[in-house]
Amino acid sequence: MPTTLNINEILSEVKKLDQEGQLTILERLVAIISKNKDLPKRAKLSQISGIGSSLWAKSNIDDYISQERKW
**Cα 27 off chain centre by:** 22
Q: Cα(28)–Cα(30) distance, rounded to whole angstroms? A: 5
pTM of the model: 0.45
- The alpha carbons of the chain give a radius of gyration, in whole angstroms, of 26
What is the per-residue pLDDT across 15-44, written as a single tens digit (0 to 9) for each?
999 999 999 999 999 888 887 666 667 777
Contact 17, 28 (CB under 8 A): no
pLDDT at residue 2, rounded to an integer = 53
CA distances from 57 to 51, 52, 54, 68 (A): 11, 9, 5, 18
Query: What are the domain boundaries of the chain?
Result: 1-39
